[in-house]
Amino acid sequence: MKETLRYLAGIAGPSGYGSKSTAQQVAQNCSCSVDPRRLTAIITGATSGIGAETARVMAERGVRVVIAARDLKKAAQVSDRIHKDINPNAEIMLFQIDLSSLASVKRFCSRFLALGLPLNILINNAGIFSQNLELSEDKIEMTFATNYLGHFLLTEMLVEKMIETAEQTGIQGRIINLSSVIHSWVKTDCFNFNQLLNPNKYNGTRAYAQSKVANILHAKEIARQLKARNANVTINAVHPGIVKTGIIRAHKGFVTDSLFFIASKLLKSTSQGASTTCYVALSPQAQGMSGKYFADCNESNCSALANDEVVAQRLWRQTRALIRGRLKYQKPC
């Protein structure tokens, strides 16, 4: 009850921010010693909602922003708005990526790495919600393929560049996985890897929640590996809050109109939803924090399943084996 009241009232937590804080406020108050113009950030799914707002706020501060998007036309519109309304000198690069396709993710990484640019921040933001069962081109359930598998491969292919950049610049690299409080709905006995790939009985809400558990487990395991290597790169998961985005509109199908009306009164604005991502990506207060779960710009508690190191390691091994097996039989990009 106390946490609910804190959320509704927007009371700030230990970080000085709360549920009502905006991405703009967080970014402006980041009195970090690092010049944002020295930073390069990749943001997936930055064509609308939280992703677009994150790109806007970072570009305003002078961060070089790489928008990795499925729809380049929409990405160009976001870039044009930033140049027109926010920062005419913003350095924004647009790349096509379909996170549900392992081949597309591999192609994007190859093209980005070929540029020889540094990489300080990776924001695994893109996400979908599908009410009906759909399969990706790799014959994997679409929500899991897009929200988790694609970002897993993206991170694996870019993490060495991030470690290298951190070593060369002395600036800590930061990876952020977008998750959701809905991850806590998933129980251990319902988290089976083979069923995640090809469920016998599909439920859109369950599939979305399972992908969000996987995002946290991924952050936990990669954080462990990075720490073991003494790498100056962190990875964390964030819950943006329940935000007025396209995913929420898609979710409307599983609640009654009256419940949605009540819930809508608790929704965050897009800028409030992007605040936690910007906090973990930019704030000096988040320096050195890794393998954590954040909500409302403060460290928070995730479910017992999402915090299970054994499950996290097993999921990582299963995912890596799956991806390597699928890529082995694909034609070179």
Q: Which residues are catalytic?
A: 202
CA distance 302 to 295: 10
Nearest to 151 by CA among 132, 124, 176, 131: 124
Position 320, amino acid = R
Answer whether 213's CB lies under 8 Å from 305's CB: yes
For 315, phi and psi rounded to 5 degrees? -60, -40
Answer whether 205's CB lies under 8 Å from 183's CB: no
Buried b (16+ CB within 10 A) or exposed e, 121-142: bbbbbbbbbebeebebebebbb
CA angle 11, 13, 16 (to 5 degrees): 95
| Helix, strand, coil fractions of the chain, as percent rounded to 5 | 55, 15, 35
Burial of 304 (0-12, 13-18, 19+ CB in 10 A): exposed
For 68, the token pair is: 């990795």
Query: Which residue reads 């943001």 in tokens?
Result: 43
